Amino acid sequence: MRPQDILPHRPPFLLLTEVGSVESGRSATGSWTLTGDEDFFAGHFPGRPTLPGVLMVESLAQLGAVAVLSDPRYGGRLPLFGGVDRARFRRQVVPGETLDLEVTLGRMSARAGRGSGRASVAGKLACEAELLFVVVEAPTGP
């Protein structure tokens, strides 16, 4: 499944390359392959390009949104960040690496929910965080 088939995000802010598995309303796996051509690498940091931690968390949130939006109860809706708890960054992620992502959703209601996510490279943990989100009506039109 292509991320853009479910998410409203588009480049340059689509931070998922591939969606692996989805259990609607419960969990999802996916990946983000970093080519090195991403604009942020030029300034973060010159001579030592490093994926910003906040973008790792956003990538997890986008994968979580795939799990939410694949649930028919949330059709026509849009999950937005409500908060991030216990974010930890365990290793540097550099151009050419693939960030393997997994998100598990916890308690969800009609208007909000929470989940937890992990990002790793070649089996080594890079980032973990708890995600809180609110669910709003999706915009209509272009």
Q: How far apart are CA 78 and CA 69, in angstroms?
A: 8
* Residues comprising the chain, all counted: 142
Confirm if 131 and 107 have CB atoms less than 8 A apart.
no
Per-residue pLDDT of the chain (142 residues; tens, 9 = 90+): 899 999 999 999 999 999 999 999 999 999 999 999 999 999 999 999 999 999 999 999 999 999 999 999 998 899 999 999 999 999 999 999 999 999 999 999 989 999 999 999 999 999 999 999 999 998 876 5
32 within some domain: yes
Structure tokens at 20: 């692996």
Q: How far apart are CA 9 and CA 126, in angstroms?
A: 23
User: Which one is catalytic: 9, 18, 25, 44?
Assistant: 44
57 within some domain: yes
Neighbours of 122 (CB within 10 A): 9
76 within some domain: yes
Q: How far apart are CA 99 and CA 16, in angstroms?
A: 9
70 within some domain: yes
Active site residue 44: yes
142 within some domain: no
Number of domains, the chain = 1
Report the CATH number that the domain containing residue 80 is assigned in CATH: 3.10.129.10
Nearest to 25 by CA among 138, 103, 134, 83: 103
104 within some domain: yes
Query: In terms of pTM, does the model score above 0.75?
Result: yes
Q: Please tell me the predicted confidence (pLDDT) of residue 38.
A: 96
Confirm if 85 and 37 have CB atoms less than 8 A apart.
no
Q: Which domain holds residue 113?
A: 3-137
What is the dihedral angle through the alpha carbons of 31, 38, 116, 20, rounded to the nearest 10 degrees? Answer: -10
